[in-house]
A and B are shown apart, each in its own frame.
Chain A
Amino acid sequence: MTTSTERGSEHGGLDRVPMDLSSHERERALLVLADGEVFEGEAAGALRDVALGELVFNTAMSGYQEVITDPSYAGQVVAFTYTHIGNYGVSKEDSESAHSFCNGVITRDITPQPSSWRATEGFETFLIANGVPAICGIDTRRLTRHIRESGAMPCAFGTISKSALQDVAESLGNFADPGLVDRVTTPTRYEIGGGPLRVAVYDFGVKRSMLGQLAAVATLNVVPANTPADEVLAWEPDGVFLSNGPGDPSVLEKPIAAASDLLGKVPVFGICLGHQIIGLALGGRTYKLAFGHHGCNHPVQHLSTGHVEITSQNHNYAVDVSTVRGAELTHVNLNDGVTEGMEMRSANAFSVQYHPEAAPGPHDSYYLFRRFVDEIESRRSRVIRGGPR
């Protein structure tokens, strides 16, 4: 437990001992959106001069560490709608990747002193150590309402002048950065896990918790995003998993091509960006949502059972399921009808847009990993019995 600053002093005859709990004096900073909207706040984290990126808001009330270390946020600036961020500090084992890939963090308040038996360091210390710039003191509700009305857009924040920040924000323009996945994927393939099954994982920015779910039942061959299908097939996987990742899926030509080659040959399971890549590989269309889904409370109905799952979500793009060859809608977002899951029986593949691995978020959808294993096992038994490939 991280507690006070002044430990061990006898409280007996204490007079007025100066306190040093506070947040140090922070420098004033501004947040400027591409459309010219300005917010006043204070510099925090690793902010030096300026930070920039596409602005998204996340409505989760816990799990800030998982969000910040989720590679899917590469290139983005995350605004938390919950006001106190940093309450329980940071615990090493909760990180979703070795680094932080988001371009910045916007909060109403950063907790000066965390409290948790699990904490290994403070939140702001973590931001600084990971080079994550932040701005706090922002009216994040006004910001969220603005994005809700005007859509996701680039932003810049920093301690430089308003006009300079605005120039930076505007210059980001239509910001579809095609290099995001390349930045977050593993440079070389590696194997982990020790389960009896063999699963190849395309790392488009895979979260540790996804690997954890899969590694519990399979030996994983984690490969870089642009690995051709034949290389993966040469490893003789029982199944292929397409991971989450950042950015616009339609620019990812090699992964889409690889997915086309793989579908129908081995059971495939895709999550988030992986789901979108499957859709594109089967001739489907993806489109950008006004401000995406980022949070832990989205209701998704599993159509075959009628059951409603509360899901963890983080996506700006979605698949138009009607355009995907042989796809059947399996999961739908009850808030806005967006496709959240589909199944391609003929291709022996299924995918979801949301995050069944949670982290952060509810565990309602863990069953999907089990289902992937079932798909693989039932196919294996068919193969063993000499069924069709």
Chain B
Amino acid sequence: MPRRDDIESILVIGSGPIVIGQACEFDYSGTQACRVIKEEGYRVILANSNPATIMTDPSVADRTYVEPLVREVLASIVEIERPDAILPTLGGQTALNLMMELVEAGTLEEFGVEVIGARPDAVAIAENRDKFKAAMEEIGLDVPTSGFARSIDDVEAIAERIGYPIMLRPSYILGGAGTGIVTNKDDLLRLARAGLAASPVAEILVERSIAGWKEYELEVMRDCADNCVVICSIENFDPMGVHTGDSITVAPAQTLTDVEYQAMRNDAFSCIRRVGVETGGSNVQFAVDPASGRRLIVEMNPRVSRSSALASKATGFPIAKIAAKLAIGYRLEEIQNDITRVTPASFEPTIDYVVTKIPRWAFEKIPGSVPELGTRMQSVGEVMAIGRTFCESLQKAIRSLEQGRAGLNADASERELDSIAIDELLRNITQATPERVFEIESAIRRGVDLSTLNALSGIDPWFLAQIARITEERRRLELHFSRVSDERLEAPSGDRARARAVLNLGAEELRRAKRLGFSDAQIAYLAGADEDSVRSERLALGVVPTYKTVDTCGSEFEAFTPYHYSTYEDEDEVQPSSRKTVVILGSGPNRIGQGIEFDYCCVHASIALREAGYETVMVNCNPETVSTDYDTSDRLYFEPLTKEDVLNVIAAETRANSLPSGPETKIAGVIVSLGGQTPLKLSHAIPSELILGTSPASIDLAEDRGAWSALCLRLGIQQPPGGTATTTREALLIAKEVGYPVLVRPSYVLGGRAMEIVYDDDGTRRVMDGLLGRSATSSRREELGSLLKEGGVSAERPVLVDRFLEDAVEVDVDALRDRDGETLIAGVMEHVEEAGVHSGDSACALPPQTLSEAVITQLESHTRALADALEVRGLLNVQFACKGTEVYVIEANPRASRTVPFVAKATGAAIAKAAARIMVGATLLELRADGTLPSDAVGTVKCLGHVSMKEAVLPFDRFPGADTLLGPEMRSTGEVMGIDTTFGLAFAKSQLAAGGGLPLKGTVLFSLADRDKPAGLEVAREFTRLGFSLAATFGTAAFLRDNAVPVETLVAKVGEERLAADAVDLISSGKIQLVVNTPRGRGSRSDGIQIRSAALASKVPCLTTLAAARAAAAGISDRGSDPFSVAALQDLHNFEPL
């Protein structure tokens, strides 16, 4: 059946902000879907609150609503746009849930909107544990059995039904109390009692234990004619018990015989047929008993998922694109495989390599979190690597993580691991953690046999044996190097001599190590040489990588999509190129501080440069992104972003640009300034003449404290006073000179890593000890461990100590400057939270709301002066702190900042595209002329008649025990945007979009730090004026009452033995609708943490700064009781589609 003609317009729902469990994979899938259905001639209406997405670019859909993803707002959009159909299967769980809410509210029926992609009744079966179980049993498939218990009687009843062994898991617990596996009734009752007591909601999950079983996933597609295919099979390295999003996973499945695999495939098809997924992609998860092969169906997702993004990148089969086509009526065989161009999409990809995905966690960013993996997903991003063997792909994936590891051990970081006593190491291995794979290699190297490791970890012996191959190869190298160094005892020492050891290794030996994924850095570590020497010796031996192609078919058919990965084989498949080539280095795995915003910039660069006639080459290793879609750039290299791998790509592209027998032809250049810190850190490894845009020298100037201060002084721009220190003594001296509080932070880090505000000498000592690796507490050492791995403190990487400006307003300015020296101010953003809260965690408004014209003028002129002084060619971001009329510059980054997509969405100016063009020589004048920028974008991009608000989305609900307090270290995973006519409305929308909609009435609980009390008075009055009643803790209440503000409820903090209501009880019993709690400093955790935790658990909005509380009052006031109005970006910007 060809495309449906009975519908004309389709509403696509995006997935909203990046949160743990729902990341930019849904931008990738949503963008693909929107493009496909638009190409097919439908009118596409898109709703998504996340401004950092490609899908919300005004050119992707016909109507783009950057609005909160809540039912009421969606209903307004439906009412305005009257779509014929709604496609909810490409925006994750968010979109699916919204669709179900719209169905239940009758909205879709009222406006005659058809659900395509997955029927509501199918979704209802897949999402409901009981219905799903019944449906599977009906078709003869086994599911894990479980039930929720609220009493000991319930526990017994469920246990009776499901049988032993039983896994007990109390709901919402901290630190695993009452969790465990039991095999008899006595243990069951004992543990269940503990669990019920530990759970704040007195609820416990009683489940037949399948921990330790093997876990698999199949990515399945079905069309309207009931044709079903498996796109990819995935086997988890970590067994059941670790969330699949937190597991290392491998494609294709490795240890299933064909008999077992086909039976699983049959089950998967039976499952989606029974659930009733009529068209599109689904993901079906299985658990397999390693001892008997018994197979259970664990769950299915009737939609495109994180795994399907991975499967798409792993196979080259674009699941989301095809799912969208199936939803509009096509059948699989009517769709062409883009890669081969001759075969249809109705087939099952076969691959001739191994794909490994490793999650990236951020435990070090979340104080109080425990780095243990379990059934709740905690990772914030992931990397994927491709190699011809598992060993190669695993080691490539590890170095893609950018956590200072050169591969599976054989680097400096292994020493700590190797120093752990064997008993402790083996104990550690029983618990899944981010370190476990390294611990296993260490254990194998120390002679622990694989059956022991299998018993302790549940990891399949196949994977363990493959790791043992890496260990074995390392042994051979070590043995060789030790022989060589013995021989060379007489020879002159020094790196040159030691590097010769590699040459002695011989090309064949070296190649064997490279084929198992060893990096030059690992070989250098083992040889006691430096990486550069190894590289040059390796090149001299002619051991260079070859690039193979991901083609869906194991090379059975010719591939037309140059999607490459490196490996050490005979044949290289990179085709010659005759156009000017620009290599764009991507941003690697999502992490806190570096996320989708940078992928957005890289994708825009690729689009803009392709339009301008360049051939673009993308290098990245993040499978969730649009940048790693095979048709975003002319060529895609799915590679780690390390010096070795990037230089190899540049060499391959140089070969492609050169005639076979002619002289070497250089590529046009490399873009390092759009992907965040990841590519920027590589700029010194790349020949400087190849770096496009602002010179590395200027980038260094902005980072080098001394030179930067001198520059500011010369330009007459004020900085907060401060200095650099490499010792605690120096830090104390600086603090004494500039006065407390001071901001202490390491240089060259991202997202405010380990940044702290300290108020006294003790604080300074504590922070410096931590940074110098001398911390007294092991948890603190752990927190900083990864930082130390990344380089630690040295003369080149000193600690910065600056006067902290209390109560200053922080401002971000983004600007563009071209080769002629013209500078365009793209956006001035005023932060809602005061200075001291990391800019990435702060809400900000564009245009600024409280700054005077004079201050704005000063900000702009400082920005221009800095842009000129740094000779910026492209983007510049400057952060300022404004106190009254005084403007201080905090830092400047001559690169893309995370605010770039927000500015672009707020103003309609495509500044990332413009920046890429500027880097290859275009001027702002030319960009205005060709329509890349608005024709009136001269001097400053014009702000239109609306206010845009960016709000951060924080991951605390994933980390029981974490403090929700904002500070100088960034914690947010994503952002949302609220657009409306006033500041208050835009703020209120942004809160709603971020998941904490503001109440319109009820009780506000105030608990303020002393220094905030005077300013808090006005805010409290405002809430009273708006009709709220107030509750307050003792000190705050006394202050408010003294100042004639009525406080109805007096609240005791936990531990306060007074006759008053308990804060936690009030919050959890639903008597508080909003919490304003401003604690002070770090360390004084006791005052507010229980209040904030209770608010988090009860999903009560909790504002931790007065500025946010003020903005909330404004929002509530502006909104009144009216529903939000909605507007499409196309109307706001009078956007003309290209």
Contacts and interface: CB of A to CB of B under 8 A. Distances in A.
User: A141, A301, A358: which has the most chain B beta carbons within 10 Å?
Assistant: A141
B444 interface: yes
A5 interface: yes
Given A6-B449, A15-B447, A19-B444, A116 B351 contact: no
Which of B265, B351, B469, B554 neighbours the largest number of chain A CB atoms within 10 Å of its CB?
Answer: B554
B257 A91 contact: yes
B1109 interface: no
Interface string A229-247: 0000000000000000000
Contacts of B448: 11, 14
B451 A59 contact: no
A66 B446 CA distance: 38
A361 B461 contact: no
Given A7-B451, A62-B256, A141-B555, 10 more contacts: A2-B461, A21-B469, A81-B555, A87-B462, A108-B389, A113-B462, A117-B293, A118-B257, A140-B352, A310-B348
Interface in A86-128: 87-88, 91, 94, 108-109, 111-118
A19 B426 contact: no
Contacts of A62: 252-253, 256-258, 261
A82 B570 contact: no
Contacts of A114: 462
A5 B422 CA distance: 20
Given A144-B554, A145-B571, A81 B350 contact: yes
Contacts of B462: 87-88, 111, 113-115
Contact of B333 (A109, A140, A308): A308
Contact of A1 (B354, B461, B570): B461
16 contacts: A3-B450, A19-B475, A59-B352, A84-B354, A87-B255, A113-B461, A115-B255, A117-B292, A141-B555, A144-B556, A295-B554, A307-B225, A310-B229, A334-B333, A336-B342, A336-B343
A62 B262 CA distance: 10
A295 B375 CA distance: 37
Interface of A: 1-7, 9, 11-19, 21-22, 39-40, 57, 59-63, 65-66, 81-84, 87-88, 91, 94, 108-109, 111-118, 139-142, 144-145, 148, 295-299, 301, 306-308, 310, 334-336, 358-363
Interface in B339-375: 342-344, 346-354
- Main secondary structure, interface of A, reads loop
Contact of B447 (A19, A81, A109, A360): A19
B344 A108 contact: no
A3 B352 contact: no
A180 B389 CA distance: 35
Interface residues of B, number: 73
A134 to B, nearest CB: 17
A310 B345 CA distance: 11
Contact of B469 (A13, A112, A142): A112
A140 B331 CA distance: 34
B266 interface: yes
A381 to B, nearest CB: 31
Contacts of A359: 258
A295 B452 CA distance: 37
Given A82-B351, A297-B349, A299-B346, A141 B553 contact: no
A72 to B, nearest CB: 16
Contacts of B465: 21, 111-113, 115
Interface in B514-558: 548, 553-558
Interface of B: 225-227, 229, 233, 252-262, 265-266, 290-293, 331-333, 342-344, 346-354, 388-390, 422-423, 426, 444-452, 454, 460-462, 465, 468-469, 471-472, 475, 548, 553-558, 569-571, 573
Most buried by B among A21, A82, A139, A336: A21
A117 B347 contact: no
A142 B354 contact: no
Query: Which 9 pairs of residues, A with B, have the shortest CB-CB distance?
Result: A17-B447, A63-B258, A4-B450, A142-B571, A81-B554, A360-B258, A113-B465, A115-B462, A139-B570
Contact of B472 (A4, A11, A19, A139): A19
Contacts, number: 221
A66 B388 CA distance: 23
A3 B351 contact: no
Contacts of B447: 14-19
A289 B983 CA distance: 70
A108 B515 CA distance: 11
B252 A61 contact: yes
A242 B1048 CA distance: 91
A379 B221 CA distance: 39
A87 B444 CA distance: 20
Contacts of B573: 145
A3 B450 CA distance: 7
* Residue among B229, B233, B444 with max Cβ neighbours from chain A (10 Å): B229
A59 B449 contact: no
Nearest to A114: B462
Given A2-B461, A82-B352, A116-B257, A310 B451 contact: no
Contacts of B342: 335-336
Given A60-B350, A83-B389, A3 B422 contact: no
A334 B331 CA distance: 13
A295 to B, nearest CB: 6
Contacts of B472: 19, 21-22
A118 B450 contact: no
Contacts of A144: 352, 554-556
A225 to B, nearest CB: 27
Nearest to A58: B554
B371 to A, nearest CB: 24
A335 B258 contact: no
Given A2-B461, A117-B291, A334-B344, A306 B225 contact: yes
A362 B347 CA distance: 11
Contact of A307 (B226, B257, B347): B226
B425 to A, nearest CB: 9
A1 B349 contact: no
Contact of A362 (B259, B265, B333, B426): B265
A189 to B, nearest CB: 29
Contacts of A308: 225, 227, 331-333, 346
Nearest to B467: A21
Nearest to A294: B556
Contacts of A6: 449
B555 A295 contact: no
- Which among B252, B259, B445 has the highest number of chain A CB atoms within 10 Å? B259
B187 to A, nearest CB: 26
Contacts of B475: 19
Contacts of B354: 83-84
B345 to A, nearest CB: 9
Given A4-B451, A14-B446, A88 B256 contact: yes
A12 B422 CA distance: 7
A160 B519 CA distance: 34
